[in-house]
Amino acid sequence: MHKKTDNDCIAALDQGTTSTRCILFGREGLPVVSHSGGPAAHQQEHAQIYPHPGWVEHDANEIWFCAQNVIREAMEKAFSTSSARPAAIGITNQRETVVVWDRKTGEPVYNAIVWQCMRTQDFCAEWSKMKGWEQSAVGCGKAKDKTGLLVNNYFSGTKLRWILENVEGAKDKAHRGNLLFGTIDTWLLWNLTGGVKGGIHATDVTNASRTLLMNIKTLDWDEEMLDFLGIPVSMLPQIEPSSHVYGMTAKTAAFEGGIPVSGILGDQQAALFGQACFDPGMVKNTYGTGLFMLLNTGDVCASSQNGLLTTPAYSLEKGHCVYALEGSVAMGGATVQWLRDNLRMIDSAEDSEYFANKAKDSAGVYFVPAFSGLFAPYWDMSARGAIVGLTRYVRKEQLVYAALESICYQTRDVLEAMQKDSNVHVSEMKVDGGAVANDTLMQMQADIAGSGVVRPMFKETTALGAAYAAGLAVGFWDSLDTLRGLWKKDRTFSPAITPEEREAKYKNWRKAIEKSRGWLEEES
């Protein structure tokens, strides 16, 4: 951490599902030191709105309010004034969440519909069976060819359609050109740059690619997807590179005018960028609530036949991007939370390490946490959780061990799919997220994946990625090479079991997976 003058830093605005944070970074890629000695950062939670079971919304105005507040607080912590002027602002955000607002008043016409929201599930189920749009769970389909994604309620397109179909007057207004659509990055950018008084309406390729509306080959909006969903192109933001001067801030009570907003990346892509995974074959895996693995495939827009998504990793120049394959797993660290909150086996997530170390192994127990089905690479929503291999010997210690192993086996499942799809052998992966503090888990991961697991010194890679993108665009950092040089390793975990042992365990995991699959059909 370094003490800096105000223009010798980049402000990263990290707008997540539950909270918004601002961290100020210096040239070394570390947080600026605040006057109390800690990092110059501030975080604020926002409300989760659940109007019906399975529906999730946020108040977009509250998010904008939090964003202004955290920027101001971070500046005050660093420089004792909110009228500081960082060299640039970078934005990273929860992906896929949808905001629609009135171009003239700046008021959202409905709450932000959050990526987790299931309200369009039935529509997606019908859509994916329609002639011409049929898709298999892990393979092809027209939507996949065009967008790299699956027809699924997770992505923005059908949420936007829902607003146009269900909010009174919205469709008409949209067709008359009076409404604007944005993912959270776009909403924040528009407001930061002046809102109704000339705000910039733009997004970056990584966020645009999560809407089901962008063609991943042309990096532009796809007419056929828009037609099918009934979305007028006039409401869509301009798609720009991730590292690009989008516009200048307008002066508000919270911050100064004239600061370039010059970086935007969706959260998982930001983590890849913050981990300096700039070369094809480099992988990062984030261990938070879920698991999110991205593999840089360079110029190759690899189409997955194994249940992965194809997505732009980042773009540094208009019309060109670096691609990635992405695998997401629903239950990562959340499995540990389940042991803590539902079974009350442990008092804290950290305790999982203590009990796993006491157990030393899982005594043949395999735990498949398919609580809401299985995501990548299986995409089997009929699967449910299973714990198999139980004997009377088994105690809580072995169950905790098996729960941690489940995180590692699911990671290996995604890794195998990535290697098949890309023909790249992954010899090591960079890791981040809350659960990487658990050394035992990291060692298990190296053993089960058979590859090195590399943990960075600085673990807030998402915010750092946004800062990097913003800093590159304004010359605060001069090249990717400079950024490569800033990445510092904390520790590498290397595989310490034999290949035979690894494969025997993995075979059992696959047997356990089969037990969990198709459960709902069998029951009915």
Question: Where along the sequence are the contacts to ligand ADP (CB under 6 A)?
Answer: 288-289, 333-334, 336-337, 349-350, 352-353, 433-435, 437-438, 441
Q: Which of 275, 289 has the CB closer to ligand ADP?
A: 289
Q: Which of 305, 337 has the CB closer to ligand ADP?
A: 337
**Neighbouring C-beta atoms of residue 350, cutoff 10 Å:** 12
DSSP structural state of residue 215: E
Q: Which of 365, 435 has the CB closer to ligand ADP?
A: 435
Residues with Cβ within 8 Å of 416's Cβ and at least 6 positions away in sequence, in order, are 306, 377
Q: Which of 120, 352 has the CB closer to ligand ADP?
A: 352
Q: Which of 280, 434 has the CB closer to ligand ADP?
A: 434
Beta strands in 330-397 (DSSP E): 366-368, 386-388
Backbone angles phi, psi at 494, to 5 degrees: -110, 150
CB of 170 to ligand ADP, least distance (A): 32
CB of 289 to ligand ADP, least distance (A): 3
CB of 267 to ligand ADP, least distance (A): 9
CB of 58 to ligand ADP, least distance (A): 15
Query: Rg for the chain (alpha carbons), in Å?
Result: 23
CB of 155 to ligand ADP, least distance (A): 19
SS3 84: coil
Q: Which of 297, 352 has the CB closer to ligand ADP?
A: 352
Q: Which of 310, 406 has the CB closer to ligand ADP?
A: 406
CB of 44 to ligand ADP, least distance (A): 15
Distance, in Å, from the CA atom of 94 to the CA atom of 114, rounded to the nearest integer, reads 9
Beta strands in 441-497 (DSSP E): 452-456, 489-493
Q: Select the residue whose beta carbon is closest to ligand ADP and give its number.
A: 434
Residues with Cβ within 8 Å of 207's Cβ and at least 6 positions away in sequence, in order, are 93, 95, 183, 185, 186, 264, 265, 266
DSSP-assigned letters across all residues of 401-448 = HHHHHHHHHHHHHHHHHHHHHH-----EEEEESGGGG-HHHHHHHHHH
Q: Which of 165, 350 has the CB closer to ligand ADP?
A: 350
Distance, in Å, from the CA atom of 399 to the CA atom of 238, rounded to the nearest integer, reads 50
Distance, in Å, from the CA atom of 10 to the CA atom of 471, rounded to the nearest integer, reads 7
CB of 286 to ligand ADP, least distance (A): 7
CB of 111 to ligand ADP, least distance (A): 21
Say if CB 112 and CB 34 are below 8 A apart.
no
